Chain A
Amino acid sequence: MFLRKSPWIIHYDATSCNGCDIEVVASLTPLYDLERFGIINMGNPKHADIFVVTGSVNPSSSAVVRNIYDQMPNPKVVVAVGICATSGGIFRECYNVLGGIDKVIPVDVYVPGCAARPESIIDGIVKALDILEQRSREFKKLRVESQRQEKKLRRYRLND
């Protein structure tokens, strides 16, 4: 519930041309000011809730993307920023490009554009907030359920 009030993002440039990266940073700075939503750009994957990826993936960056995604705690949401992150864009015919981010990790929100404008990046992240909230509710339910199961099992063991 409270995650929505202040989600922290982590940004990684998979093989982007920098266009979308500087727009991601621009959306955090005074004119667009994503920080008014309580959003802070974090360097540490273990502190982050939303994973913002720009650019398509290549063999060496796919391992890094996978690694960062695995290190993030649940619940987490992935936002693919830019057309390269969505499908490979203008570079999809290059020999070293595998395609969009969804080739490596599941993506929740796609933000199109080359380069994606700060307005659409903000829109995408706000959309991700809803998904994050829903996911955190499901996650909580799952945890409560698993605790109940555990308790039950313990009781069985005691009866034995």
Chain B
Amino acid sequence: MAQRNIIPFGPQHPVLPEPIHLDLVTEDETVVEAIPSIGFVHRGLEKLVEKKDYQEFVYVAERICGICSFMHGMTYCQAVEEIMGLDVPPRALYLRTVWAELSRIHSHLMWLGLAADAFGFESLFMNCWRHREGVLDIIEATTGGRVIFGSCKIGGVRRDIDDGTMKGIVKKLETMASEIRRSTDVFLNDYSVQHRLKGVGVIDGEEAHRLGTVGPVLRASGIAMDARKIGYAAYRDLKFEPVIEKDGDCYSRCRVRVREVFQSIELIAQAAQKIPPGETEIRVTGAPEGEYFSRVEQPRGEVIYYVKADGTKNLKRFRVRTPTFANLPAMVKMLKGAGLADVPNIILTIDPCISCVER
């Protein structure tokens, strides 16, 4: 039997900009066990609800994670609106959908770049991030921020997108789609990429479901689970089918994300057609009382917010279950039996967001 070694991975490591620590127990080149330890990004912001009032807390919720920041803000706003029984204007719901899909595109393009970096394809990494800047330009023009938008508020949205701009956005995304396709075709067709990703980190549908995975990781294993189908915001009026793949390896997870980029572009075009005129926000008075579970499909999967309020300005309890937290057990499972060289690829294909996990 080969000798067992423990290789520490992280918290500072070149694969991911974020600190995650894994103890990889190896036998020769094979990982036998992976023991994750977390706590490097824990801030304890759930307890901050006691110090900030419920309207101020939207800003904190947006800063749980800087990549899907808009969706975090949106989930929080949905929960509070539901408790207070607010009727959010439909135009605001459509605008939220547009921004949420834009942030999905930018998140997936960012992930594609980082994945390319992880398997050592530097020029592809640079190309994906170049495409991403185009999406960030749209976001900056419509909200004022590049990564943290600050445009969602309880009772609606802060800014409006006029019809001319909306048409421009759809047109720009169309031209961008053909450019993006040139880069994503490399992911789908290139021999060396397939060599690194195919058959690596396989998890079948049953196992993935049992471990409670969400988002692209679950959909890549052939289970059509997409929280957008619940019909929050404007998704109930839009036509789309969850993207699924069968194989459950790194390559299919990559494929799911590539296809979702184009799906999001299509959803924005649909939303731009159907967006109704009218108000973008309503006045909010009083304080919430009650509790609610709010669910939203983020780029990484389904996020669950639990909000409990007792009729005062400060919330009683606030709890977040983020997608990466749900995907970590699957990651540990995938790492078992993998080669040491595949570890970065496997960690990256669950699209880990450590600041979400630890809050």
Contact = CB atoms under 8 A, between A and B. Distances in A.
Q: Do A and B come from one complex?
A: yes
Interface of A: 10-26, 29-31, 42-45, 55-56, 58, 60-61, 64, 68, 90-91, 93-97, 114-115, 117
Given A22-B147, A90-B59, A15 B65 contact: no
A20 B130 CA distance: 18
Nearest to B15: A43
Contacts, number: 124
A86 B353 CA distance: 23
Contacts of A60: 39-40, 42
A64 B12 contact: yes
Given A64-B40, A96-B43, A115-B66, A18 B353 contact: yes
Given A18-B67, A21-B17, A90-B63, A64 B44 contact: no
Interface stretch (B45-53, B176-184, B194-202, B222-230): B45-53
B14 interface: yes
Contacts of A56: 43
A94 B48 contact: yes
Given A29-B126, A90-B59, A43 B13 contact: yes
Contacts of A90: 59-60, 63
A45 B39 CA distance: 22
A64 B19 contact: yes
A19 B356 CA distance: 12
A158 B130 CA distance: 65
A19 B65 CA distance: 7
Contact of B40 (A20, A23, A31, A61): A61
Contacts of A31: 130, 133
9 residue pairs, one from A and one from B, having the closest CB atoms: A19-B66, A43-B14, A18-B66, A29-B129, A96-B44, A21-B17, A30-B130, A31-B133, A17-B66
A94 to B, nearest CB: 5
Given A61-B11, A90-B63, A17 B355 contact: yes
A43 B11 CA distance: 11
Contacts of B321: none
Nearest to B13: A43
B346 interface: no
Nearest to A117: B146
Contact of A23 (B13, B63, B69, B146): B146
Contact of A19 (B132, B133, B147): B147
Given A17-B65, A19-B69, A91 B19 contact: no
Contacts of A24: 17
B71 interface: no
13 contacts: A15-B43, A15-B355, A18-B65, A19-B67, A30-B126, A30-B127, A30-B133, A43-B12, A44-B14, A90-B60, A93-B48, A95-B44, A95-B47
A91 to B, nearest CB: 5
B47 A94 contact: yes
B45 A58 contact: no
B67 A22 contact: yes
Interface in B35-87: 39-45, 47-48, 51, 59-60, 63-67, 69
A21 B13 contact: no
Contacts of A45: 12
Contacts of A68: 12
A44 B12 CA distance: 9
B66 A16 contact: yes
A115 to B, nearest CB: 5
A25 B39 CA distance: 23
Contacts of B133: 26, 29-31
Interface string B18-45: 1100000000000000000001111111
Given A15-B41, A43-B13, A45-B12, A21 B47 contact: no
Contacts of A25: 17, 129
Contacts of A96: 42-44
B137 to A, nearest CB: 9
B148 interface: yes
B110 interface: yes
A36 to B, nearest CB: 13
Contacts of B48: 91, 93-94
A94 B60 CA distance: 11
A65 B40 CA distance: 11
A90 B42 CA distance: 14
Contact of A94 (B17, B40, B45, B127): B45
A23 B136 CA distance: 11
A15 B42 CA distance: 7
Contact of A55 (B41, B113, B130): B41
Nearest to B113: A29
A45 B11 CA distance: 13
